[in-house]
Amino acid sequence: MGIVTEYPLGFIFLCLLLGAIYAFFLYFRTGKNDINKWLVWAMTGFRFLSVSLISFLLLSPMIKKQTEVIQKPLIILAQDNSLSILLSKDSGFYRREYPRALLEFTSDLRKKFEVAELSFGDRISNELQTAFTEKQTDISALFDEVNIRYANRNIGALIIASDGIYNKGSNPFYAAEKIRFPVFTIAMGDTNLPRDLILKKITCNKSAFLGDNFPVEILVEADKCNNEKTVLQVKKGEEVLFTRPMQFSGDKDFRKTTVMLDANAKGLLHYKVMIKPVTGENSILNNAQDFYVDVNDTRQKIAILFQSPHPDVFAIKQALESSTRFEVETFKPDAFDQQPSKYDLIIFDQLPSMLGYSNLSRFTNSTVSLLYILGTETNVDAFNALKTGLVITSNKTNFTETFPSFNEDFTLFTLDKDLQDVLKNVPPLLSPLGAYQYSPVSDILFNQKIGNVHTRIPLILFFQSQQRKTGIISGENIWKWRLSDYLQKGDHKVIDDLINKVVQYLSIKGDKSFFKVKVSNRFLENENVEFDAEVYNESYELINKDDVNITITDEKNNSYPFVLGKTEKSYYLSAGTFPVGNYTYQATVKTGKNTYTKKGEFIITTLNLELLNSVADHNLLYRIAKAHDGEMFYARDLQGLRKKILEREDIRPVSYAQKRFIDLSGNIWLFLLILALLSAEWFIRKRSGVY
């Protein structure tokens, strides 16, 4: 222990000198004292001490205190709480005997060590849990958590009790490389392949259009089911849609089945796949799975108008019809007898045309989105008069061959990763030659590459106004791109995807409602249900002064009311997790004289990853322990693990010096001492009546 200040040690003597000079001049400047000398010396001493102490405190002194701290070794016990533990033949042991043995094990360790208890599965818990209910296992997250939470602690060892099965996160063996202390593992579960039928995987589109047929691919795994027979069924409610008998061979067999289903109703359709259990199965929990398909009838309606037949019209129509989201019709302009508003996008192939049809006011006066394809038959002057955002000043008869040059700053939509490779070898488009002037707020997908020169002349670009979206392809012969794609890749997928993305962006209308609610239509049972909402005033400005109320209703008509929290300009709600099932919601906000309501639905689906693999991976646990100077023990040998840890000489307490600095400026006892000195001096002075 000692006293330190920020100033040199000599300043302490200066404080003492200041106190002495002050006291001397106060009491001995005249030399005449009518009271006893011992009282004068007492008052002088009181004044000397009080002034010296006050001066000393101005130096901001601190007491430096050093103590020795002994820290026990920390043993971290992490228990796997996932469902797969109970899928072994020893499930009874893990339900009843193991929790008691684990409690006794930790009590023994606490007699000599500090013990920290954790559980892991889908997430890390601060309690030792042995209910084995978690639906996922992330062992790699445990190592990250331990490194962060117990940094700079005297960690003696990490003990991991698990079956070694993980289905979330990275490979635990490599995630454990950052661990710098011994790791022991407790092997749980069963490494023997059980007799089991498993619905391994169901693959299907998450959405479909009303009236379509959609494929569902079902993968069944059969373990130790040689010559066993079963039946596979696909059901919608109580209706059986598909039945197929199956017979397996060998110790491990896989059967893949493709089922075509009809999207015959709108909304989220609930289907169930089931396989009949065989005798002696390890678990029947993995013999059934649910899946959902969102069926809607909102195909984008596309009209293609052309004055003269051209391969581009056929190519674009085929590309769009390769997707189920578009409904495409083709027209000669004179034969178009529909309202433009009936369509989500109208494509003009070389219109306005020099061959007679150049008046497009019927379409430009509407709010429907438009896509122009310019070519050798385009009336460029009439096109410029449309004020699309692009003006081409050119000689009407001059055209040039142009290749696409991708604009890295384009962000309206993402493209196929193979697109740039395909475009390196496509034939050129034939584009009007001239000076291009375009709006600075345009979004350019491709610029023109003329010969080997990359120009800043747009080849494909987009504009957006409050009325509509507009796209322009300033070149014809896009059919050659599609043919080149087939020659390079064996199909039209890459260029069809490009055409689909262009049309999809232009045909999707923005939501201009004054109240918007955004929520996913499906969640896993361990995910929080989250809502985002936006409210706009009459000037279409974001506001959030009013409360947004939302009520979630389950299949049994139980209601759960919430109020969305306000963010900077919008609203957000995390409603927590919900049981598996179908839910509807109704959100309401009253702003001014208006009341807005939004309704919707979502589903909570089962998370069954733990049911897909019940064979313990003790080899992984062994490798992790060996790589970190530890050993693997079995769940029935916890006392053997306790003995091994107690015998380790490197797991021992550590001592270190801990320095503390205590500020004397705020010390209450020094304050009281100075107050007592000054009070005593004042009392004597008053009592003597001289000073």
Mean pLDDT by 10 residues, the chain (691 residues): 76 85 76 67 85 85 80 94 90 93 95 94 92 93 93 93 94 93 95 90 85 89 92 93 93 93 87 93 89 83 92 94 86 89 93 82 89 93 90 83 92 85 93 91 93 93 88 95 93 92 87 87 91 89 92 95 93 94 94 91 89 91 96 95 93 80 80 86 74 50
* Total domains present in the chain: 5
- Domain coverage including residue 471: 300-507
The CATH number of residue 321's host domain is 3.40.50.880
Does 9 map to a domain? yes
Does 356 map to a domain? yes
pLDDT recorded at residue 684: 78
Alpha helices, H only, 154-289? 172-175
In this structure, the answer to whether residues 59 and 154 fall within a common structural domain is: no
In this structure, the answer to whether residues 372 and 424 fall within a common structural domain is: yes
The CATH number of residue 251's host domain is 2.60.40.10
In this structure, the answer to whether residues 550 and 434 fall within a common structural domain is: no
Does 244 map to a domain? yes
d(CA 55, CA 16): 8
Strands (E), 112-165: 114-120, 155-162
595 pairs with which residues across the strands?
590
CA-based angle 526:117:187, to the nearest 5? 80
In this structure, the answer to whether residues 339 and 488 fall within a common structural domain is: yes
CA-based angle 408:410:416, to the nearest 5? 80
Which of 243, 274, 296 represents a domain boundary (last residue)? Answer: 296
Main-chain phi, psi angles of 668, to 5 degrees = -65, -35
pLDDT recorded at residue 31: 56
In this structure, the answer to whether residues 571 and 472 fall within a common structural domain is: no
SS3 312: helix
In this structure, the answer to whether residues 54 and 178 fall within a common structural domain is: no
pLDDT recorded at residue 396: 66
In this structure, the answer to whether residues 423 and 325 fall within a common structural domain is: yes
Does 36 map to a domain? yes
Residue 560 DSSP label:
E
SS3 104: helix
Does 610 map to a domain? no
CA 406 to chain centre: 30
d(CA 678, CA 49): 9
In this structure, the answer to whether residues 278 and 325 fall within a common structural domain is: no
Name the CA dihedral angle for 381, 382, 388, 394, rounded to a multiple of 10 degrees: -20
